[in-house]
Structure 1
Amino acid sequence: MTDEGDFVPVRGKRRCKRKPQKLSSPDSAITFSNCEIDLQELKDKIERNSNDIISSDFYQGFQEQLGQCLAIPSLASGSSTNRDPSKAGTQSPTSVTEIVCYGIGNFSTCLIARNQLALLLAMREECQVPLYKTSLYDPKFLSAEKELLLELGVNVLDKNEECKRKCHKPTLFYMPHCGKSLYNNLLWSNWSLGLSNLIIIGNSFSNMVDKNPRKQMKKAEYILSIQPYTSEVMLPQTYRLKDVFNDTAIHTFPSAKLQSCPDGFWSDKRKPEYDSEDVEFISNKKINC
């Protein structure tokens, strides 16, 4: 892999429980690449998808799982204060300070991507992360999609980071159905005990290791190495659109597990390199962001 890499997004959608969100803004349409997108119509679609998700059994289960993974009693109890806090887990409470989303895709044309975006908006509100601390990037975002996201108040990254973002505070990375190279880059960038700051919602690391030949996983050596020290919870498979959250899990990296890694585990930190033919990886040299 080259130094710089990018991803080809894959989509997933979900349902949730929460009060309906209103995405307000004047009617407008943007034309680009021989295609016209009505922003108000697109906002209405996102609102419907959001309401669909937050009213679903899937979202209630997701809330509880996320709350338990982060040891946040209010989330673990489905935003109720009546649940015993001891059931939220044994870790110290974790406050997510930022959400970063990579590879969600063209939500203006793809129902899966639009449902994924709906879950992101619901999750952001649930974790009480400010809009300006919620960032998205996809090399395939259209001009109209970027404009809509900016109108919603979230941050649209203007640079292809290739998922090489180093974190010093608890950060939730939402990467539904991204390629292995992207998760690998993120792990490499934080390869230390500081991995405990990361929460990754994306393709199951366990399934990657179990279902891919060892030779293929050599290109994702950081996933292969960290998987035994990762806590993983699969998302509920109860959403009506079965290909939205399939094979998706919440990954955390508890300090106790990281501290049990063998001597020298963190010292070998070679920069990942990928073949130019790797279809899961789009170098930022190939994309004019």
Structure 2
Amino acid sequence: MSEEGPDTTEWKVKSRKRPGRRPGNSGHAAHEVQALQVEYCDEPLDPAAAARTAARVRERAVSLRGSSFLTAACTAATEVFQAGALLSCSSSEGLRRGSGGKESLEGASCSGGSSGVRLLCLGIGSPEASASSVWQLALAWLLAEDLGISDRTWADPQMRRSDAAAGEQLGFRAVEPELLPDGSSASSDGRPLLLFMPHCDRALYEMVLAANCSAHAGGRCGSLEGATSCQLGDVVILGNSFQVYAQRDELGVVPSGTPGAARTDSLLRRLLPALREQLLPIFQPCPEAFNDLAVISFPAAELARWHESQFSGH
């Protein structure tokens, strides 16, 4: 298992650079944004490149379709929503059938009055430059199609103009990384949130957890100071296994003080008692794209107990 990539402060930088082709990574390896060299922010869109990228994503989707990996991912996500893990989400119509024959979440309505589940993809990188990124975008697309999620956004500092255009062909709207962490909070629009975060930096996980757990504390990584509420009951994460992170911490795999190492105020570790995790199987055609991924949710009972212990001082 490889070490983590750079800190997620890169997600706040507006000047983006062209990524080079990377070798397949393993473990919880984030995209190497520090290695980018060529400025491309003014590069004109290449429609042909966008079409090629979208076609490659659709080809990978064909390979994913019918696989035990996709079935496990869709089933786990659907079961979480059905079990009522999203605290404020209810549905008068029940789940309808999605385009892939799976049960859909599109008919769900939330206490805030909005309808539907929102999908936000982080850390996919550049499908034009990376084979693993193509697989990951294909999985995100199939999840959205099969679960009936129409509100699809994605963000990554490595994204090229052709990547954004290819994503549009698949129903994804590209947003600037600077919009984080606010856009990664379920409270941003009152709707449930499915976060798709394959192989993101650990610091980015800490950031989105803080955005949903300490919205009133400014979303500071690991900070609960001043927080009065927690929206994680409205969040499902498909991303790196938190249990694997905990095992790595116990073994001291990542040296203290280096990117990916556990922090003393790690919200990820503190939330372990409040979450439920289903590890996904290995996808043999491209294991490096999906290894150690899990569907993570925060069931009502566990989250309520955790919330009381954290915010009541008990």
Q: Distance in 1 between matches of 2:143 and 2:230?
A: 26
Relative distance call for 1:151 and 1:80 in structure 2 (3 A) is: closer
Paired position in structure 2 for 1:259:
304
Superposition RMSD in Å: 3.7
User: What is the CA-CA distance between 1:64 and the residue it aligns to?
Assistant: 2.2
Task: Flag the structure with more relative contact order, 1 or 2, with Cα contacts below 8 A and sequence separation at least 6.
Answer: 1
Q: Distance in 1 between matches of 2:157 and 2:246?
A: 27
Residue 166 in structure 1 maps to residue 171 in structure 2: no
Paired position in structure 2 for 1:114:
134
Q: Distance in 1 between matches of 2:109 and 2:290?
A: 26
SS state at 1:64 partner: helix
Deviations along 1:71-119, whole A, 9 cap, x unmatched? 27878xx9479xxxxxxxxxx9998610000110110121111000000
Relative distance call for 1:178 and 1:219 in structure 2 (3 A) is: farther
Would the aligned equivalents of 2:239 and 2:293 in 1 still touch at CA under 8 Å? Answer: yes
Would the aligned equivalents of 2:273 and 2:306 in 1 still touch at CA under 8 Å? Answer: no
User: Which residue type is aligned with residue 177 of structure 1?
Assistant: H
Relative distance call for 1:178 and 1:3 in structure 2 (3 A) is: closer
Alignment of 1:132-281 (within 5 A): 133-164=151-182, 165-167=184-186, 168-191=190-213, 192-212=229-249, 213=252, 216-218=261-263, 221-261=266-306, 263-266=308-311
Please report the TM-score for the alignment, with normalisation by the length of structure 1.
0.70
Paired position in structure 2 for 1:70:
81
Would the aligned equivalents of 2:242 and 2:272 in 1 still touch at CA under 8 Å? Answer: yes
Q: Distance in 1 between matches of 2:77 and 2:142?
A: 12
User: What is the CA-CA distance between 1:207 and the residue it aligns to?
Assistant: 0.9
Residue 39 in structure 1 maps to residue 50 in structure 2: yes
Relative distance call for 1:220 and 1:206 in structure 2 (3 A) is: farther
Would the aligned equivalents of 2:102 and 2:146 in 1 still touch at CA under 8 Å? Answer: no
How many residues are matched?
236
Q: Distance in 2 between matches of 1:62 and 1:2?
A: 28
Please report the TM-score for the alignment, with normalisation by the length of structure 2.
0.64
Q: Distance in 2 between matches of 1:249 and 1:7?
A: 26
Q: Distance in 1 between matches of 2:164 and 2:277?
A: 32
Deviations along 1:38-73, whole A, 9 cap, x unmatched? 332222211111111113232223222222222278
Match 1:104 to one of 114, 118, 124: 124
SS state at 2:271 partner: helix
User: Which residue type is aligned with residue 157 of structure 1?
Assistant: V
Q: Distance in 2 between matches of 1:263 and 1:40?
A: 50
Relative distance call for 1:219 and 1:248 in structure 2 (3 A) is: farther
Match 2:65 to one of 41, 54, 57: 54
SS state at 1:183 partner: helix
